[in-house]
Amino acid sequence: MVASLPRSIRIGSRKSQLALVQTYWVQGELQKLFSDRNFEVHTMSTQGDKILDVALSKIGDKGLFTKELEVGMLNGDIDFAVHSLKDLPTRLPEGLMLGCVTEREDPADALVVHENFKDKQLDTLPEGAVVGTSSLRRLAQLRHHYPHLSFKDIRGNLNTRLQKLDSGEFDAIILAVAGLKRLGMGDRIHQVIPSEVSLHAVGQGALGIECRTNDPEILNLLKALEHQPTAYRCYAERSFLRELEGGCQVPIGVNTVLDGDHLTLTGMVASIDGQRLIKDSVTGAATDAEAIGIQLAHKMREQGATEILQQIFAEVRPEA
């Protein structure tokens, strides 16, 4: 009797260039580790990829870049999906889980400038300079520190945003360091924005691989790619965001530092106009990462974070 070959593993991905670079990296790493298995990439477009003429914050963020992939997993069309972890909601549909967090690239934000401003840094851009960002988190922090600058929403994939910058529509734009580096565009990074100015998004720079909860075979494969130090940091960040009941499109920023067995999580909540900004930190054992996030969320609530977030939800999505 001939033994049957193990089934092919189907990996779900968005169609964007960055998503595919990240997914093919995961495919390659798994293929090296499990050479007897076959890993196939299946692509699909998400709502966030299709709606490009509306600010992200006004669309809503429940699965904006993930829902179609999640339906594919629940239907059995794909076995797992590769996400930029910052796009993955902190509350997942029943039957799905975060199966793996990969080693993090630099999670910082980057300033990319038009050639007319190559001699400038963020703090020396002239008054009224037009800075593009689609992130309320970046917007709120930059308005807080640089109220003299003018900010304008920018949508589209990374290449589209760079084209808009180079054409003169913007004087500068803010992008993630990780995305630029993964696409081989690290030379476009004009300045890495320090965390004192802009705390990064929850999970930024890491990949999150989502899978079914009842599929131990897939989960065992994915665990081979888990990077524990990154996982500790990201679990703390995600529990902080979840406890504050904030989505991906709200002005909540974080920074995590792992020092031996101890993890320090710094969090920020700001009003969209940048007038109010609350920041605090909690340190604890890395193995208690989720508890650290919850503790920090409670500290921030005591300082007024709830009121800020309620006001933002009323402003951004008044129909909600």
DSSP state of 305: H
Any idea which residue has 């089934």 for tokens?
7
DSSP-derived secondary structure for 140-204: HHHHHH-TTSEEE---S-HHHHHHHHHTTS-SEEEEEHHHHHHTT-GGG--EEPPTTT-PBPTTT
Domains of the chain with bracketed CATH:
6-102+206-226 (3.40.190.10), 109-192 (3.40.190.10), 227-320 (3.30.160.40)
Gap between the Cα atoms of 119 and 129, Å rounded: 14
pLDDT, one tens digit per residue, over 252-264 is: 999 999 999 999 9
Q: Beta strand pairing status for 80-84 and 9-14?
A: parallel
Gap between the Cα atoms of 170 and 261, Å rounded: 44
85-119 core/surface letters (b: 16 or more CB in 10 A; e: else): bbbbbbebbeebbbbbbbebbbbbbbbbbbeebee
Gap between the Cα atoms of 82 and 21, Å rounded: 10
Residues of the chain scoring pLDDT < 50: 1-4, 49-60, 318-320
Residues 6+ apart with CB under 8 A from 258: 229, 232, 233, 286
- Asked if 74 and 67 touch (Cβ cutoff 8 Å), the reply is no
Residue-level pLDDT at 245: 80
- Measuring CA to CA, how many Å separate 31 from each of 25, 101, 218, 224, 231? 10, 18, 13, 11, 22
- Asked if 236 and 101 touch (Cβ cutoff 8 Å), the reply is no
Residues 6+ apart with CB under 8 A from 81: 11, 12, 13, 66, 69, 70, 72, 73, 209, 210, 211
Does residue 280 carry a catalytic annotation?
A: no
Q: Choosing from 36, 53, 79, 87, which is the catalytic residue? A: 87
Residue-level pLDDT at 46: 62
Residue-level pLDDT at 44: 87
DSSP state of 116: G
- Asked if 43 and 27 touch (Cβ cutoff 8 Å), the reply is no
Residue-level pLDDT at 223: 96
Residue-level pLDDT at 156: 84
Of 307, 308, 175, 290, nearest in space to 241 by CA:
290
